[in-house]
Amino acid sequence: MIKPHGSARLNPLFVYDSTRNDELQKEAENLPSLQVSSATAANAVMLGAGYFNPLTGYMNIADAITIAENMHTSNGTFWPTPVLNLIKNTSDIGNTRRIALHDPNVKGNPVIAIQDVKAIEELTDEQMAIITEKVYGTTDAEHPGIAAFSTQGRIVVSGPIEVLNFSYFSTEFPDTFRTAIEIRNEIAEHGWNKVVAFQTRNPMHLAHEELCHIAMDRLGCDGLVIHMLLGKLKKGDIPAPVRDAAIRKMVELYFQPNSAMVTGYGFDMLYAGPREAVLHAIFRQNMGATHFIIGRDHAGVGDYYGAFEAQEIFDSIPAGTLEIEIFRADHTAWSKKLNKVVMMREAPDHAKEDFILLSGTKVREMLSNGEALPKEFSRPEVAQILIEYYQSL
């Protein structure tokens, strides 16, 4: 199986030993408490689940800046985006060297991790600007990723962590949430050698389904891992349980048995376009995928990034840095001329009107009105699940 990023074996930070976990939970009762941001809690989940391998905790400012500027930490580990514990003030923790991190997303704010504090530093205006411009490609405060980053605070609490639970992801999505180790084990159980991963934060319509089939066929893959984002999304996105139901119905009816896994992971989207595409590739290598589909405007938002910047960034990564390979996809749609779904760049003789294309606004309008989507756009069983959701609003 493909090696994880940065080490010979996966090193998740979750404390699986129940005795040790209980001891840490008890210790946390007497430690200074810090309620972290949603993004910091999601990072703890990703560290605990092994997706952030080989990181051992939250970064300091030096690592955040070298990553922003050069995509590697101070010690040379390749990494595309800073992983920080940002706070607004230190009144709750003082100068202590060990703290309990509390989850803002679960009732009662339980301890999600314990952190050994190596440094407490404050980002300057210049450093904030470097991170936002280099990581997000813009300094526009309206960018949702920058808005989330800039409102967490400027004080950086760095140091290794031990993760005690997986927040709400394991309880609210027990059939879908999987750690990187669990997915690796399932891939091994299936006997798959070549595996392609597909990232989604939306329901999968016919074009997405066919893109996965195209990638599997062209790459000669044994299996597909559909990997849903279960974390915080932007306003208007369809809730994870609805997406989950729609995708599972699609796989059940339109994929060969034992050829596709439906899984999810807990992370708050950065909407960082090209940089986040690289981060997503690392997630998938760590979970055992050999290939990863990256399409048009992957991890983008608005008009901040070029259509294929998320693919082009991989051309600048030195050979051998990542073992996972990228399947570069274009927008897919139903061709009226060919009577099938195609990647649009592979139909150069087509005009826009030769494809069946519906805007997100039009799709939402039809679903809200209980109207069936065209069969060339969405499987009827998938559309019905979405109709029921929109009509319940």
Same-domain pairing of 189 and 163: no
- Residue bearing tokens 């606004």: 361
Q: Which residue in 21, 109, 193, 202 is the catalytic one?
A: 202
pLDDT of residue 393: 83
Same-domain pairing of 122 and 194: no
Q: Measured between alpha carbons, how far is 66 from 72 in angstroms, rounded to an integer?
A: 6
Is 379 annotated as catalytic?
Answer: no
By CB neighbour count within 10 A (0-12 exposed, 13-18 middle, 19+ buried), where does 203 fall? buried
pTM over 0.85: yes
pLDDT of residue 18: 97
363 domain residue, yes or no: yes
12 domain residue, yes or no: no
The CATH number assigned to the domain holding 189 equals: 3.40.50.620
Using an 8 Å Cβ cutoff, are 282 and 289 in contact? no
The predicted-structure confidence for 336-385, as pLDDT tens digits, reads as follows: 999 999 999 999 999 999 999 998 889 989 999 999 999 999 999 999 99
The predicted-structure confidence for 263-304, as pLDDT tens digits, reads as follows: 999 998 899 999 999 999 999 999 999 999 999 999 999 899
Higher pLDDT, 52 or 234: 52
Same-domain pairing of 126 and 192: no
Same-domain pairing of 219 and 88: no
Q: Residue 340: give the domain boundaries.
A: 175-265+273-392
The domain boundary, picked from 167, 191, 219, lies at 167
pLDDT of residue 234: 60
Whether the per-residue pLDDT at 235 is higher than 80: the answer is no
Q: Measured between alpha carbons, how far is 255 from 258 in angstroms, rounded to an integer?
A: 8
The domain boundary, picked from 137, 167, 197, lies at 167
Same-domain pairing of 140 and 226: no
> What mean pLDDT is predicted for residues 254-260?
96
252 domain residue, yes or no: yes
Same-domain pairing of 373 and 239: yes
Same-domain pairing of 232 and 351: yes
The predicted-structure confidence for 171-200, as pLDDT tens digits, reads as follows: 988 989 999 999 999 999 999 999 999 999
304 domain residue, yes or no: yes
Same-domain pairing of 156 and 223: no
Number of domains in the chain: 2
Q: Which residue in 98, 154, 201, 345 is the catalytic one?
A: 201
Bin 150: left if φ > 0, else alpha if -120 < ψ < 50, else beta: alpha
Is 202 annotated as catalytic?
Answer: yes
Same-domain pairing of 360 and 216: yes
The domain boundary, picked from 132, 149, 167, lies at 167
Q: Which band of pLDDT confidence, cut at 50, 70 and 90, is reported for residue 317?
A: very high
11 domain residue, yes or no: no
The CATH number assigned to the domain holding 128 equals: 3.10.400.10
Same-domain pairing of 137 and 205: no
Q: Quick one: which of 146, 187, 44, 169 has its CA closest to 102? A: 44
pLDDT of residue 230: 87
Same-domain pairing of 163 and 209: no
Same-domain pairing of 62 and 101: yes
